A and B are shown apart, each in its own frame.
Chain A
Amino acid sequence: MGLRRMVRNLAGQGNKAPTFERIIDQYKVSKAIAMAQTPDQVVEAMLSSPYLRAVSRASVLIFDKPWSETPPQAFVMLADWNRDKTQPSSTGERYLLEEYDLLDLCGRDEPVIIEDVRKDKRLGQQLRSTLVARQTHGLVLHPLSARGDWFGMLTVHFSDAVHPDALLHIAGLVGQVAVAIYTPLLIEVEAEAREEAEESEELKMKLLATISHELRTPLTSIKGFVTTLLADDVEWDPVSQRDFLETIDQETDKLTELVEQLLDLSRLEAGTLRVTPGRHNVRDIVATAMPQLEVLAANHQLHLRVPDGLPSVSADRRRIAQVLTNLVSNAAKYSPRGTNIVVAFARQDNHVRVDVSDEGPGIKAEERSQIFVPFRQGSRAASSGAGLGLAISRGIVQAHEGKLWIEDRDGPGTTLSFTLPTLETED
């Protein structure tokens, strides 16, 4: 049913031509809407018209996404204007669509006009009593569309019978109200998206700067000592020469490890870090890691506790050895020489749990969550390592459907733990 016909039926007379006064008024109101800066001001400008004196309340509802094939889930009351200022405003409130049966009434092209809320069969009982309690007699629901998006509704409550002049007036202004409301919303959304993109670009640049710095550090030692050996104004004694060459060798290993870690990290972030789990006895995994563990804990007392009768686990042996190596390496790095590092295995439900504990100072509560963030080291950070190991280790364990976490307690001592799923049958 077209608006024109509805108005005609409502008025019970023939087509009503707009009067000169109404055109003037509409022009004035249009201007006020164009000047409005907030949704509340837009609504208020519209209602400043003398033709809309009987309006007791008007609200702008914005859907959480434009209504196309599928209806939106929720809407927010963007503006809620009450002529009686003692009435509570619902501005900013969020409602689920299904709990607001009013919206079942509306379509995207035509307004819904309810002449008398007490008599209209389309209204549910609860909504009817709410409306009556707020002195609403007539109600008009107008879809709000702009730029092809049906993005919300304008609801106009009348304390008296709905006058056709008022309807025509609203119909004449609603398009402008829609644009006045929607344009700033779009600008806001675009600004947010741009800000997000800029932030992620900034993060990327920071990450690149960090990577470049981390790569340059071992490179500096390598270049430094190679050119030291090449210098022709100094003759280095054999002990010094050997010392320089050993440093070059170690720094080359560091560089290689860093490149591997960076590759792992990028695989992790791309979701392509593959593990190929097989059936493994825990002792086999320990044996794989052992040569490196011994080197890493050379200045510490390393204790391995592997109880008998542990079930086999589903694990990529090389990758889990990498996790063990990383946890022991951290433990050694951050605890005094000569102290104990304990690697304890235990069965826990359908997992095998591994705890790696050191006797260092521990990690402050506020820094604990940060240790898994790439390139982030706590205040205790030693100068070695880029801070990638724990992020990668956690990724590896998660790829096994296990968990890796830090025990949530204050130092002294730090315990990092992880779990690996066991395989059903025992060996």
Chain B
Amino acid sequence: MDRGRLCRSHCPLLKLKTDHMATVLIVEDEESIRRFAAVNLTARGYAVIEADNARDGLDMLRDRLPELVLLDMRMPGMDGFDLLEAKAQDPDIADIPVIVLTASMGAADAVEEEYTGVVAVLHKPISASELIEAVATTLATD
């Protein structure tokens, strides 16, 4: 999925983490939004794994232990809240940081206080730079 060629001189954030490629799990049911996040993160040197539903996302979280999760809240069946609930119960993955993506006003506002590990809430629509910055900031301080 390495579609982009990186201009390293223009990417100060990347210099922070040349030693190790962090893995980011994207859990999002909308194919095009998942792809948007994936191409941008891949182009900046992150390893990306994807799930189009929360159940698979939880399995990948346990199996692959990524450094960060990008989580959509509203998904059919098991949703983002359910995933956060299950994650909090499992000490192996409870501390993995989560950036929440939400298109709903209100519903996810308190999610940062309610669930440990939620480090940021991004309200859709978001730009590529907002996404990259949130990811880079989280992984830099982690």
Binding site for B on A (CB under 8 A): 209, 212-213, 216-217, 219-225, 227-228, 230-237, 239-240, 243-244, 247, 250-251, 377, 379, 381, 383
Task: Identify which of B30, B107, B126 contacts A223 (C-beta below 8 A).
Answer: B126
Q: Cβ of B35: which chain A residues have Cβ within 8 Å of it?
A: 247
A224 touches B3 (CB 8 A): no
Q: How far is the CA of A230 from the CA of B128 in the complex (A)?
A: 9
Q: Mark B14-43, 1 if CB is under 8 A from A, else 0.
A: 000000000000000111110111011001
Counting chain B CB atoms within 10 Å of each CB, which of A221, A234, A240, A251 scores highest? A234
Counting chain B CB atoms within 10 Å of each CB, which of A220, A247, A383 scores highest? A220
Count CB-based A-B contacts (< 8 Å).
100
Name A216's closest neighbour in chain B (CB-CB). B103
- Given A235-B4, A237-B5, the answer on whether A227 and B129 have CB atoms closer than 8 Å is yes
Q: How far is the CA of A236 from the CA of B74 in the complex (A)?
A: 30
Q: How far is the CA of A233 from the CA of B104 in the complex (A)?
A: 30
Name A222's closest neighbour in chain B (CB-CB). B125
B124 touches A236 (CB 8 A): no
B127 touches A227 (CB 8 A): yes
Known: A213-B104, A220-B33, A235-B4. 17 other contacts (CB 8 A): A220-B103, A220-B124, A221-B33, A221-B36, A224-B32, A224-B33, A224-B125, A225-B32, A227-B129, A228-B39, A231-B132, A233-B10, A234-B5, A234-B44, A235-B5, A236-B3, A250-B32
Q: How far is the CA of A223 from the CA of B130 in the complex (A)?
A: 11
15 CB < 8 A contacts A-B: A209-B107, A216-B124, A220-B125, A224-B127, A224-B128, A227-B127, A232-B7, A233-B11, A234-B4, A234-B5, A234-B7, A234-B40, A237-B4, A239-B3, A383-B76
Q: Cβ of B7: which chain A residues have Cβ within 8 Å of it?
A: 232-235
Q: Cβ of A232: which chain B residues have Cβ within 8 Å of it?
A: 7, 10
Counting chain B CB atoms within 10 Å of each CB, which of A224, A236, A239, A243 scores highest? A224
Q: How far is the CA of A128 from the CA of B11 in the complex (A)?
A: 100
- Nearest CB of A to B2, in Å: 10
Q: How far is the CA of A228 from the CA of B38 in the complex (A)?
A: 11
B105 within 8 A of A: yes
Task: Identify which of A227, A243, A381 contacts B128 (C-beta below 8 A).
Answer: A227
B126 touches A220 (CB 8 A): yes
A237 touches B104 (CB 8 A): no
